[in-house]
Structure 1
């Protein structure tokens, strides 16, 4: 079963994705998501609070928080968000409100701060048995975040050549390096696929998969993202 490497096919299962803002895949035209990131830097009220990846069993493969949270709250958030997302029916909307208790506890703010700086939105996509989840303020565009997740997945596939879940396990540093090329301090700074991949490769963090680990040995029966695109409409 494959994870996505290309834009979802334009059929009834991918209506949400085909309406999302498109990213620049190497050209010089202006980039919707990059522009949005620059606007966020100026406004300081639009930001990503966390980027999470876990498999179908709820095991975290990547957890990156951009707002200060106690470890116990992080663990609780990961557990509750996974339960919330994994139990949603196929074909459901890809974004939903953050549970109120977690939203209230997500960050510490002074009384003078704007409440639209509080994390309140969960945006996610499901590729095979992996869930890619973004927690953000309500001022972030969920459609742009859906596209941002797609860029991240495609970047990983370019780095690992038909990436599978084993690559996520053995190359923890590369996952964070890729995310670091795209997001800094909760603000989207880059969505150009070629520049992201070049930046990660320049850091020398991409490692080869162990020789004895075949594609079919991947957790979940092999989760390659290359080749034929498969997207479950979530």
Structure 2
């Protein structure tokens, strides 16, 4: 198997479980040295230890704290000597409210702090290093929810929509420095923030008649992290089985 990330160094936030874990494991499989970054120390350490000390290291981080994110970057460079790939994947869902009138402002602030502000912080600190060292790849996790207004999860949707716009604004500025910035918008992926099982409804919801997985998203992240996407920046990639297109169309066979 070709090692698409051989010699690269990657940081993946929110990588103790779910999409982040699938991504950090796939990056390592493809030759990258990786930093598992997460607030969950127990699970994060387990992921890094399973990958091996020569390949992976764990760093506890709250992405909404710029000092902790800067320390994460410093740790990565001290440990592995470089930073080629930054995957801002950490996120929280926030509380579920049935009405905007009931939304809690403290919860709103917390979700924005992690999902949008935290992504901004990760992008900026990583980009400062990448600009000085000839380029790199930044990947952000948004969500299909950002494209579909509605309740519940108003705050989550708003924050993830902000991540999409942030990605494209940054990509436009950093392209001249060889820094690519792209965004993944997962659909319903069984992971830590999934609230209910919709597998039985998939055929009515999306054209591709299968349940997506964390590995589907990780494969997309691998492409965006690697040189296969050397001419790709500022894009938002839905990984949703076509849910963003609307319900599938069934056409009767012609006689």
Task: Give your verdict on TM over 0.5.
Answer: no
Instruction: Please say which structure displays the higher CA radius of gyration.
Output: 2
Which category of TM-score, normalised to the shorter sequence, fits these structures?
0.3 to 0.5
Question: Which one has a larger percent helix, Structure 1 or Structure 2?
Answer: 2
Q: What's the TM-score once normalised by structure 2's chain length?
A: 0.33
Of the two structures, which has the highest relative contact order with CA contacts closer than 8 Å and spacing of 6 or more?
Answer: 1
